[in-house]
């Protein structure tokens, strides 16, 4: 009995030990199962990681190829950019030249505008002057018509009348033909010895100024075609026996002619009745 009572604590301890061992074993088993599941999970995760790493490596290789292609394209683009920069520089130079030309054209346009305004002003002045000249021309035309009427009237009045005068000796003053006709030659009383033949002198043709037209710069003389006057003949014009100028015949009628004044600066000194003598 004492033995049985003495072994009871040992049995209890043993039982407790067994229970504790079982508990520990169960706990260890459970922990092992957990670790095993974790290992499986980690293995799965490791596999996934390896797959992902493989995929990443593949992507990396693809990225490297893409990077090489991009680098090649970048080089091409850089070349294109350099070419574009050169073109831009050229365009800038062309633009600057175009702007300079535009500025020059603008300056030329302003100058032309000023020149045009000046021309328009001058044209206005010229038109005014033209109007004045037309008015003067009309006035001179009317005066010319009146003068032509006077010339015709003079022609009608001078028909059948000898207006010219022929002078044999140029040193003797000219006289009117009617007065010369009245003089009779004196009879010769002494027979003179025959003189040496003198060179034949060309008779001078003398006339006078009938009309002075200072507007058209011509005179009308009382010598015409019946006096042998032709267009282009030159006459010396005398005022009070002083030589003033020469006149040139421009129009010839029967008994009178119109002659242009050669020296215009003395036309104001010419008067009606002045003497004209035909040049040889």
**In the numeric block, which tokens belong to residue 105?**
């054209």
pLDDT single digits (tens) 206-263: 999 999 999 999 999 999 999 999 999 999 999 999 999 999 999 999 999 999 999 8
| 6 pLDDT higher than 80 | no
Q: How many CB atoms lie within 10 A of CB 252?
A: 19
| 88 pLDDT higher than 50 | yes
Q: Are residues 89 and 141 in the same domain?
A: yes
Q: Are residues 216 and 118 in the same domain?
A: no
pLDDT at 197: 57
Q: Rounded to an integer, what distance in angstroms lies between the CA atom of residue 227 and that of residue 92?
A: 89
Counts of helices then strands in the chain (DSSP H, E): 2, 7
Q: How many CB atoms lie within 10 A of CB 177?
A: 14
What mean pLDDT comes out for the span 94-107?
Answer: 88
Domain assignment of residue 177, given as a range: 161-181+201-280
Average pLDDT, the chain: 80
State the residue for tokens 């600066």: 265
Q: Are residues 83 and 167 in the same domain?
A: no
| 174 pLDDT higher than 50 | no
**In the numeric block, which tokens belong to residue 251?**
């129009």
CA angle 132, 138, 142 (to 5 degrees): 145
| CATH number reported for the structural domain that contains residue 257 in this entry | 2.40.10.340
Residue 199: which H helix or E strand, with range? none
Q: Identify whether 3 is part of a domain.
A: yes
What mean pLDDT comes out for the span 177-201?
Answer: 48
Q: Identify whether 141 is part of a domain.
A: yes
**In the numeric block, which tokens belong to residue 171?**
């040193």
pLDDT single digits (tens) 49-79: 888 888 888 888 888 889 988 999 998 889 8
Share of the chain above pLDDT 90, in %: 28
Closest CA to 216 of 159, 147, 154, 117: 147
């Amino acid at each position: 009995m004492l033995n049985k009572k003495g072994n009871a604590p040992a049995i209890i301890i043993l039982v407790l030990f067994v229970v504790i061992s079982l508990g520990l074993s169960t706990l260890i088993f459970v922990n092992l199962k957990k670790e095993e599941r974790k290992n499986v999970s980690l293995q799965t995760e490791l596999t996934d990681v390896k797959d992902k790493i493989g995929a990443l490596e593949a992507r990396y290789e693809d990225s490297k190829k893409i990077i090489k292609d991009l680098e090649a394209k970048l080089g091409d683009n850089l070349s294109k950019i350099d070419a574009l920069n050169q073109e831009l520089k050229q365009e800038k130079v062309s633009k600057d030249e175009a702007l300079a030309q535009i500025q020059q054209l603008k300056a030329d346009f302003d100058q032309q505008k000023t020149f045009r305004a000046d021309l328009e002003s001058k044209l206005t002045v010229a038109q005014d002057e033209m109007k004045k000249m037309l008015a003067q021309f009309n006035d001179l035309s009317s005066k010319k018509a009146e003068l032509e009427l006077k010339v015709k009237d003079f022609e009608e009045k001078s028909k059948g009348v000898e207006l010219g005068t022929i002078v044999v000796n140029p040193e003797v003053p000219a006289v009117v033909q009617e007065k010369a006709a009245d003089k009779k030659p004196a009879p010769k009383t002494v027979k003179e010895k025959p003189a040496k033949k003198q060179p034949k002198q060309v008779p001078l043709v003398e006339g006078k100024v009938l009309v002075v037209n200072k507007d058209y710069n011509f005179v009308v003389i009382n010598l015409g075609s019946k006096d042998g006057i032709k267009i282009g003949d030159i006459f010396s014009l005398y005022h009070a026996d002083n030589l003033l100028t020469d006149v040139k015949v421009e129009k010839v009628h029967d008994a009178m002619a119109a002659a242009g004044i050669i020296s215009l600066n003395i036309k104001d000194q010419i008067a009606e009745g002045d003497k004209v003598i035909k040049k040889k």
